[in-house]
Amino acid sequence: MSACRQYLKRQYPRRLASRSIIALGLMSWSSSAFAYRPFDGTDAAIAAPGEVEIELQPGGRLREQRSTTLIAPATVLNYGLSEGWEAVLEGQGQIPLIPPGPTSLTSAGAFLKHVLQPGSLQDKTGPSVATEFGVLLPDSTGNSGVGASLAGIVSQRWDWGTIHLNAETALTRDHHADVFLGGIIEGPSKWSIRPVAELFYEKEFGQSETISGLVGLILRVRDNLSFDIGLRHALTNGHPVSEVRAGLTLGFPLEQFGGRAQSR
């Protein structure tokens, strides 16, 4: 969770081509996906047991001071382990455009997410409360090491919209203490196109301080498929950062996919 982490938090590019083909072939399947693109924070919902959720950004643009970077691809793989538990793998590819540089795999991590208190996101009353914790994996270039993070998430859904609050602490890959505080607000969940926004503050002690805002839209095509676009502007150590994010979220039951594959 260094300054790089917040630019696309929940992404994982390994075997992207094969996963993208699988995803395209499964778009007509029915399932429910509540993963959280295009935000840096997340929600207090998880995938159902045996269900896979893929969050994919084929390409995004990140501009900071005099540098421009292509984020391609950025992916998250979520899998429902059991009732109340989810496994998460994430990461992103970074391709420096200005100035040009080598492609790298960054922001990779492996996490467990657990719903502590079922609530409105689980079709019950009151707030949903969850935690997410795990390891931050080294970048493919440079001298970064292994880090760790622990987050608390509270979500509440009303007829008029939904709010998600995130608080996270971490030991970064460079072994600095880091804190992240963020909030997400959405329009009514019944709308097929809903406006969304996010505001967060992050401080990596002795390294960087970031204040960030994002506005965007989420288009729900069906329960298991949605598209998103987001525009983010931030200040990191007083320097402007801008980013364009666009991608999709897809969910499908793994057992059903395996059964169809075996029948062919």
Task: Pick 175 or 5 by higher pLDDT.
Answer: 175
How do residues 180-195 score in pLDDT, each as one tens digit? 999 999 999 999 999 9
pLDDT of residue 142: 86
What SS3 string covers 105-157?
EEEEEEEEEEEEECCHHHCCCCCEEEEEEEEECCCCCCCCCCEEEEEEEEEEE
Instruction: Give me the chain's average pLDDT, please.
Output: 87
Closest-CA residue to 60 (of 172, 211, 195, 216):
216
Of 107, 105, 128, give the one whose Cα is nearest residue 116.
128
Q: What is the mean pLDDT of residues 243-253?
A: 95
Residues 20-70 pLDDT 10s: 333 333 333 333 334 489 999 999 999 999 999 999 999 999 999 899 999
As a whole number of Å, the CA-based R_g of the chain is: 18
- 3 pLDDT more than 80: no
- What are the structure tokens assigned to 91, written together? 């990461």
Query: Residue 93: what pLDDT?
Result: 95
Q: What is the pLDDT of residues 205-218, one digit of tens each?
A: 999 999 999 999 99
pTM score, two decimals? 0.84
In the prediction, which pLDDT does 26 show?
Answer: 35
Q: pLDDT of 119-173, one tens digit each?
A: 999 999 999 999 999 999 999 988 999 999 999 999 999 999 999 999 999 999 9
d(CA 147, CA 188): 37
Distance separating alpha carbons of residues 57 and 232, to the nearest angstrom: 15
Tell me the two tokens of residue 131. Answer: 């935690």
Domain boundaries, the chain: 5-263
Superfamily of domain 5-263: monomeric porin ompg (2.40.160.40)
pLDDT at 140: 93
Q: What is the average pLDDT across 77-102? A: 96
What is the residue type of 170? A
